[in-house]
Structure 1
């Protein structure tokens, strides 16, 4: 099972929107997809129509090893897309696990028991570089970074890349960067164009060709409890995530062939 952490310590860059819609697009192509909501806000769960009452077991219990993946997983309304929901209990996990041995590997050990059921696992990380995000980076084979097209984007990316190098050195030398996805791109704003150009100059081919635009339908979809690809599959945001999914599949295929 390929495991992809979707991470950026900055909030409001489109991590959860990317997680939901990329998972939906991959499922639509026939992949069996598991989405792990690892953010205490639980927005990925809400965005897939899973309310608080339906979150019996969650990523919190999974992290504590109080349940298995099988016991926590919920089938969503999207065919071939399953979810491990999140609750606010995750907020206290960092303190509760502070004295636990190998606390950085808790998610990895939980997920490795389910290697065959799904083709790919996406992990929606919280907007921080704490224990939850480190757990996701240790558990993942790949990292996808949503990067908002705004002035401070590269500054935040530098901090994230430094954390990735520390995780590689200490815990997970196999962690590779799948790509950087430019999000919230506004074609009417010259700043978006300049930031996108600067990011491509610095990172080159690591940056996906597909750019996710600012799109009202992407913002509306979570309030209806469905991914944008179901809410309005013809809107520019949905079409962009379909393009991003194609690029992800192509990159994963190339990496598999090269291995």
Structure 2
């Protein structure tokens, strides 16, 4: 099972939209496990498996090293979800108070799983213990980014954190940086030029266009790739998946 973390220290960069789209599109060929690692539970909601009232049956339990009983089936037989909720904050605090290893709990729990070709982890915009665990467990990392000054400034810190993680987990590979919510303005084009010059081939050639349908899909709690098959974001995510899979070869 290949494990991919979608991560950025800044909020609003399209992490969840990207995670949901990847899970849905990849499930058309493979069996996929989606892990919601964000206490807001947005990925869980997209697949109608949000469980706000309990710890058992959620990624909170991964911090205890357990996957059994936490995997929920979805309406799509090729997609299963481990949801998340507000209890993650409490679980993190309890783990930090412990005297045993803290960073490899997801890795141990996920190593027990069989029957999935891929696992996509949607992470919150921070570097808490749950995110550290996700990155330690991952084979690859994808960073979605918006072309605004705050996101670009945060890339330096993000790359530094990834370097720290890869010193512990040497199998983790930065597969690429994905430009999301793209609108063709002079400022955005200049930012893209700088980003590609700075990070070169790490930037995916495909950009995800700004799309009203992507926002509307969250209101309907469905992947944008299901909500509107013809919108720009869906078409771009399909091309992104093609490019992403080519990079594996």
Shorter-chain TM-score: what band?
over 0.9
Unaligned runs of 5+ in 2: none
- Where 1:104 maps in the other structure, the secondary structure is coil
Cα deviation, 1:62-81, whole Å, max 9, x if unaligned, reads 2223xx42411112223411
C-alpha distance in structure 1 between counterparts of 2:53 and 2:94, whole Å: 24
Q: Paired residue for 1:183, among 175, 180, 184?
A: 180
Verify the 8 A CA contact 2:51 2:83 in the aligned structure 1. Answer: no
Matching residue of 1:207: 203
What is the TM-score with the length of structure 2 in the denominator? 0.95
C-alpha distance in structure 1 between counterparts of 2:99 and 2:247, whole Å: 36
What is the TM-score with the length of structure 1 in the denominator? 0.91
- Confirm whether residue 148 of structure 1 aligns to residue 146 of structure 2: yes
C-alpha distance in structure 2 between counterparts of 1:62 and 1:140, whole Å: 14
Matching residue of 1:2: 2
Shift of 1:152: 2.5
Cα deviation, 1:104-151, whole Å, max 9, x if unaligned, reads 11111110101x311111110111012111111100010000011112
Verify the 8 A CA contact 2:50 2:84 in the aligned structure 1. Answer: no
Cα deviation, 1:142-184, whole Å, max 9, x if unaligned, reads 0000011112322211101111111122x21111101100011
Matching residue of 1:257: none
Verify the 8 A CA contact 2:50 2:83 in the aligned structure 1. Answer: no
**Range moving further from structure 2, 142-151 or 92-101:** 92-101
Matching residue of 2:160: 162
- 1:26-175 alignment runs, 5 A limit: 26-28=26-28, 30-52=29-51, 57-65=57-65, 68-98=66-96, 99-114=98-113, 116-169=114-167, 171-175=168-172
Kindly tell me the number of residue pairs found equivalent between the two proteins. 247
Q: For the structure 1 residues 53 and 175, does the alpha-carbon distance in structure 2 shift closer, same or farther, using more than 3 Å as the test?
A: closer
Shift of 1:50: 1.9
Unaligned runs of 5+ in 1: 255-259
Q: Spell out structure 1 runs of 4+ moving beyond 3 A.
A: 53-56
C-alpha distance in structure 1 between counterparts of 2:206 and 2:50, whole Å: 32
Verify the 8 A CA contact 1:48 1:222 in the aligned structure 2. Answer: no
Verify the 8 A CA contact 2:211 2:233 in the aligned structure 1. Answer: yes
Matching residue of 1:218: 214
Verify the 8 A CA contact 2:217 2:224 in the aligned structure 1. Answer: yes
Verify the 8 A CA contact 2:63 2:130 in the aligned structure 1. Answer: no
How large is the RMSD of aligned CA atoms in angstroms? 1.5
Verify the 8 A CA contact 1:2 1:119 in the aligned structure 2. Answer: yes
